[in-house]
A and B are shown apart, each in its own frame.
Chain A
Amino acid sequence: MKRILVLAAIAAACVRPTRPPKDYSKLVSANPRSILVVPVVNKTVEVNAADYFLSTVSVPLAERGYYVFPVNAVKRMLEDDGLSDAALVHGTDPTRLCALFGADAVLFVTIEQWTAKFVLLSTEVTVEFEYVLKDGHTGEELWKERQVGVYASDSGGGGLVGAIAAAIATKASPNYMPLARQANAQALGYPGPGLPAGPYRPDYRKDLPSPDVATPAPHQASAPTPTEASK
């Protein structure tokens, strides 16, 4: 019992409580070891956002315990094969894409929104990213997540001058990395909306909800919720 409470509390410490639970059954049964990340589709006017974003995906994804294909080599090889348009790649049958590289699953990322609003003392950037993981053998969708975030540049210190400097620096040469990293960390984190541990993590197959949680049986007593545990 104690152990359950401790686990629940650990979960509570990590999970953002407002998230609705996700159905992981397809992902768990597909059990991918390797993930192909294809070039990012960019629906915004920030012309370089897609490539910049692509450079930030491998690290958090591989840290979830999956083999992640070399994104730049994949991108260049697709270009050599006449698939230099990311939208064209995203429109390709996922099973065909995965067969090209021998991948178990493919991750499609789309930048839906990237709006910078320059107000007097700060820059406010609104971003929206969509992540879709599809099975390389069946083409089925295994996992999906949408991240919407508003980030302001005026949170740091430095007073008035610092705030203005930050805003100007952002406008002249915006650095996308911190923003993209934060979005990825939130989207891929687990427990949370992200991916359960892959085969290269020590907690592989140990961090999953128990089967009776995946297919709820109302007559069975479930583990206490985080709020109950902290009462």
Chain B
Amino acid sequence: MRSLARIGAVAFLAGAGLGCVPKTLYPWGGYDDALYRHYKNPQDRDEFVAKLGGVIDEAEQTGGVVPPGCYAEYGWALYEEGRANDAVAYFAKEGKQWPESRPFMEKLIKNVARVRPAAPTAVPASSTGEEKK
């Protein structure tokens, strides 16, 4: 029984070290905080856009996976800024990184193209998902 207790104690420590203390899958870089501030101070749009861009830069530069939704969120913010071409590029990146997002991203890309048909490079075909912002 003594040895069982010891196994239990070791397992508890292992559990505390591995199972419970979370190591995150993604480098979130304050994504939730950016959203929170955006909802709290919607007028600070520049800060919101910059923070979302920062999440992506940080993840890409450290070799981490850009978290689910972040390319798309940034793309949407750019779209709201009137930067349709950049928006499309980031929607394409989201779709490339996360196959689950593709139907939604394709829809967004189509919508952007429909809303701004006059913009010369707003067509989805021009975005390979590779261009830099």
A residues sitting closer than 8 Å to B (CB atoms) are: 2, 5-7, 9-14, 33-34, 48, 51-52, 54-56, 58-59, 62-63, 65-73, 76-77, 101-104, 176-177, 200-201, 229-231
Measured CB to CB, the closest approach of chain B to A69, in angstroms, equals 6
Decide: A52 near B36, CB < 8 A? Known: A69-B69, A231-B1.
yes
Chain B residues 60-101 with CB under 8 Å of chain A are 67-70, 72-73, 75-77, 80, 94, 98, 100-101
Inter-subunit contact A68/B19 (CB<8 Å): no
30 A–B contact pairs at CB < 8 A?
A5-B4, A7-B11, A9-B8, A10-B12, A10-B15, A11-B15, A13-B11, A13-B19, A14-B20, A51-B39, A52-B39, A55-B32, A58-B32, A58-B35, A59-B28, A59-B31, A62-B25, A67-B68, A69-B69, A69-B104, A71-B69, A72-B73, A73-B73, A102-B100, A102-B103, A103-B100, A177-B32, A230-B4, A230-B8, A231-B4
Closest A residue by C-beta to B106: A102
B residues sitting closer than 8 Å to A (CB atoms) are: 1, 4-5, 7-8, 10-12, 14-16, 18-20, 22, 24-26, 28, 31-33, 35-36, 38-40, 67-70, 72-73, 75-77, 80, 94, 98, 100-104, 108
Name the one of B15, B36, B101 contacting A69, with C-beta atoms under 8 angstroms.
B101
Measured CB to CB, the closest approach of chain A to B39, in angstroms, equals 4
User: Top 8 nearest A-B pairs by Cβ distance?
Assistant: A102-B103, A13-B15, A9-B11, A55-B35, A70-B69, A34-B100, A10-B15, A73-B76
Name the one of A5, A52, A59, A177 contacting B7, with C-beta atoms under 8 angstroms.
A5
Q: Is the interface of A mostly helix, strand, loop or mixed?
A: helix
> In the bound complex, how far is the Cα of B104 from the Cα of A188, in angstroms?
25
Q: Is the interface of B mostly helix, strand, loop or mixed?
A: helix
Closest B residue by C-beta to A8: B11
Known: A101-B103, A200-B25. 13 other contacts (CB 8 A): A13-B20, A48-B40, A56-B36, A58-B67, A65-B25, A67-B68, A72-B76, A73-B73, A73-B76, A77-B108, A101-B104, A177-B32, A177-B36
Hey, which chain B residues are within 8 Å of A12, CB to CB?
A: 12, 15
Inter-subunit contact B31/A58 (CB<8 Å): yes
Inter-subunit contact B36/A58 (CB<8 Å): no
> In the bound complex, how far is the Cα of B15 from the Cα of A7, in angstroms?
9
Closest A residue by C-beta to B35: A55
| Inter-chain contact total with CB atoms closer than 8 Å | 132
Inter-subunit contact A13/B67 (CB<8 Å): no
Closest B residue by C-beta to A207: B19
Name the one of A2, A72, A77, A103 contacting B38, with C-beta atoms under 8 angstroms.
A72
Inter-subunit contact B14/A10 (CB<8 Å): yes
> In the bound complex, how far is the Cα of B70 from the Cα of A70, in angstroms?
7
Decide: A54 near B35, CB < 8 A? Known: A102-B102, A201-B25.
yes
Measured CB to CB, the closest approach of chain A to B117, in angstroms, equals 18
Measured CB to CB, the closest approach of chain B to A38, in angstroms, equals 13
Inter-subunit contact A70/B76 (CB<8 Å): yes
Name the one of B4, B36, B104 contacting A102, with C-beta atoms under 8 angstroms.
B104
> In the bound complex, how far is the Cα of B88 from the Cα of A104, in angstroms?
24
Hey, which chain B residues are within 8 Å of A201, CB to CB?
A: 25
Measured CB to CB, the closest approach of chain A to B74, in angstroms, equals 9
Name the one of A5, A71, A101, A200 contacting B8, with C-beta atoms under 8 angstroms.
A5
Hey, which chain A residues are within 8 Å of B94, CB to CB?
A: 70
Inter-subunit contact A52/B40 (CB<8 Å): yes
Name the one of B1, B16, B38, B69 contacting A13, with C-beta atoms under 8 angstroms.
B16
